[in-house]
Structure 1
């Protein structure tokens, strides 16, 4: 089905939800053990069977627009280096020198033609190959062809850069996203401007991520920020493999769409309805008219904590200092709402779960996004490809 037509059909469903006070529902509630959020063994299994195996969205095309641009970062305890070579190709490596294990690039972003380890000045090219050894006459023979940086599976699609943290692992984005990346190609996401990021810390990564997956809490937790725009408990879900597109109608959806031809409803995002786009296991993307927030949730270092990087992009480049100041204010506002209204209660939830008060949490029929996420998480943890995949 044509993308605009499909989104138009979803808009029609969401209009019905608002007019008739309904929401997406599945057949029954789902119970999840509270130990899922506290158990050290499960946390370790999640790192090995999920975060080290699936494609992770680690960077944006807009962060590395030019040849020589690079980004060095920590991803779930793995030091990762992503760079764009002279021909424009993006690669990813473990940011670990093959000599004695030191990083070859400092964390952050920059531009350079080669990477030099600060420990002993071994130098690597943009393709990861070892090209220089300090004082080679005293070091001894080295087969440079076998001592390059360890490369990671990496692919750039739809304005984003996906990396698998396990060298030589298979990575099939078409199978993993099942057409979902067409959304970002249609939005021309590759040509947006990267504005910056903010980092916040919270509870177990799944406690934090659960909050991005439903709108049941909008009226009670966000009465002055989200609820004035978006009704509570009025949500639509679509699955694309383990990934989810969550539709949130606005209170004014009927008014916003009434004079728009039905065939154009699918091109009215932000004007009557919004989407939160979820990349399993750890990314939430909210595209707003003013600014877009992309949350990357990185678990750890212990089961009760996560580090979330809130990235901000928009279609237009920064025009002047006043525009930059306005963008900074918008980023701070989104960060403050996310932390003060969502992550603070998440920390309280973590304390509650660790108290042993209850053995299980319950996700209702109206919280299908949470159910779907936990079903896929359990599917990966079973580590048995013969099991059927969850379906929306």
Structure 2
């Protein structure tokens, strides 16, 4: 179906939710064991069966727009190097020198024609090949063809760069996203401007991620920030494989849509309704009128912690110093709201679950997004591709 027509259908559904006090509802409630958020065994299984197998969105085209640009980062405890070569191709590697294991690029962004390890100055090309060994005459024989950087499966699509953290693993974005990336192509995401990032830390990654998947908590937890714009407990869910698009109607959706032709309703994002776009297992994208926040949630070094990178983009480049100051103020506001209103209570939830007070938690019929996420998580943890996939 045409994208605008599909979004128009969703807008009509959300209009009904607001006007008739309803929301998307599943067939039943769902219980999840509390140890899912505390168990070291499950945490290890999540690393191996989920985070190291599925394509993770690790960077934006806007972060590496030019030949020679690179981004060095940590993901799931692994040092990752992503770069764009002189022909424009994006590649990903483990940021680990084949000599003694030191990084070949410092964490952050930069631009260079080659990567040189700061420990002993071994040098690697943009394609990962070992180019030079420092003082080679005294080192001894080295087969350069066998000593390149370890490459990771990588693909650039719709303004984003996806990486699989297991070398030589298959990467099938079409099979994984099932048409969802067309949404970002329509947004022209590849031509947006990267504004910067902030890092926050919180409880178990699923405790934090659960908060991105529902609006049932808006009235109580976001009474002064989100709730004035978006009514609590009014949500619509669509599934694209394990990924989701969550619709949130605004309070004035009736006024925003009723005066427009029905054919235009699908082009009114941020005017009557908003979407939060979810990439399983760990990305939440909120395209706001002023700025877009993309949260990447990475499991921490222990089950009770996560590290979240909040990335910020918008369509227009920064105009001047005054605009840059306004952007920084807005970024800090989004960061502070996310941490103070969501992550702080997440840390309290972590303590509560570790107390042993209850053996399980429950997601209501109205929290279908959370149910869907945990159903897909369980599907991956079962490690049985022949098992039926969850459906929305």
Task: Give the TM interval when normalised to the shorter protein.
Answer: over 0.9
Q: Aligned pair 1:229/2:246, yes or no?
A: no
- What SS does the aligned partner of 1:80 have? strand
Q: Which residue of 2 aligns with 1:106?
A: 106
* Structure 1 match to 2:279: 279
Shift of 1:140: 1.2
Cross-structure match for 2:243? 243
- 1:300-379 equivalent positions in 2, closer than 5 A: 300-379=300-379
Distance 1:170 1:239 in 2: 22
Q: 1:259: how far off?
A: 1.6
Distance in 1 (CA, whole Å) between partners of 2:334 and 2:108 is 22
- 1:39 & 1:346 partners in 2: Cα distance? 17
| Equivalent residue number for residue 77 of structure 2 | 77
Q: Using the alignment, how far apart are the partners of 1:253 and 1:66 within structure 2?
A: 41
User: How far apart, in 1, do the equivalents of 2:363 and 2:115 lie?
Assistant: 48
Provide the rounded CA distance (Å) in 1 between the counterparts of 2:289 and 2:137.
Answer: 60
CA separation in 2, counterparts of 1:261 and 1:215? 28
Per-residue deviation at 1:351? Answer: 0.2
Separation in structure 1 between the aligned mates of residue 267 and residue 147 of structure 2, nearest angstrom: 50
Give, in whole Å, the separation in 1 of the partners of 2:53 and 2:41. 17
Matched length: 392
Q: Within 1, Cα distance between the matches of 2:260 and 2:113?
A: 51
Unpaired stretches in structure 2, ≥5 consecutive residues: none
Residue of structure 2 equivalent to 1:198: 198
Partner in structure 1 of residue 139 of structure 2 = 139
Give the whole-Å Cα distance in 2 for the aligned partners of 1:316 and 1:129.
37
Q: What is the alpha-carbon distance in structure 1 between the residues aligned to residue 15 and residue 346 of structure 2?
A: 31
Distance 2:264 2:99 in 1: 58
| TM-score, normalization by structure 1 | 1.00
- Which whole-Å deviations, capped at 9, do the CAs of 1:259-311 have from their partners, x for residues lacking one? 21111111110000000000000000000000000000010110000000000
Q: Secondary structure at the match of 1:148?
A: coil
Residue deviations 1:325-351 (CA, integer Å, cap 9, x gap):
100000011001000000000000000
Give the TM-score, by structure 2 length. Answer: 1.00
Deviation sequence 1:126-163 (CA, Å, 0-9, x none) = 00000000011111111111111000000000100000
SS in structure 1 of the partner of residue 254 of structure 2:
helix
Of residues 136-145 and 213-222 in structure 1, the stretch that sits farther from structure 2 once superposed is 136-145
**Per-residue deviation at 1:43?**
0.2
Q: What CA deviation, in whole Å up to 9, does each residue of 1:335-370 have, x standing for no partner?
A: 010000000000000000000000000000000000
Structure 1: stretches of 5+ with no match in the other structure: none
Aligned partner of residue 169 in structure 2, secondary structure:
coil
SS in 2 for 1:347: helix
The 1-side partners of 2:264 and 2:155 are apart by 32
Q: Which structure 2 residues correspond to residues 55-204 of structure 1 after superposition, within 5 A?
A: 55-204=55-204
Structure 1 CA distance for aligned equivalents of residues 305 and 99 of structure 2: 33
CA distance in 1, matches of 2:268, 2:87: 37
For 1:153 and 1:4, locate their aligned partners in 2 and report how far apart those are by CA, in whole Å: 33
Whole-angstrom CA distance in 1 between matches of 2:260 and 2:100: 63
Give the distance between the partners of 1:127 and 1:260, measured in 2 at CA.
52
Whole-Å Cα distance in 2 between the matches of residues 103 and 332 of structure 1? Answer: 30
> What is the RMSD of the two structures over their aligned residues, measured on CA atoms?
0.4
Give 1:88 shift: 0.5
Q: Write the distance in 2 (CA, Å) between the matches of 1:150 and 1:198.
A: 28
CA shift, 1:213, in A, is 0.1
d(CA) in 1 for partners of 2:41 and 2:20?
45
Rounded Cα–Cα distance in structure 2 between residues aligned with 1:320 and 1:79:
34
Secondary structure of the residue that 2:105 maps to in structure 1?
Answer: coil
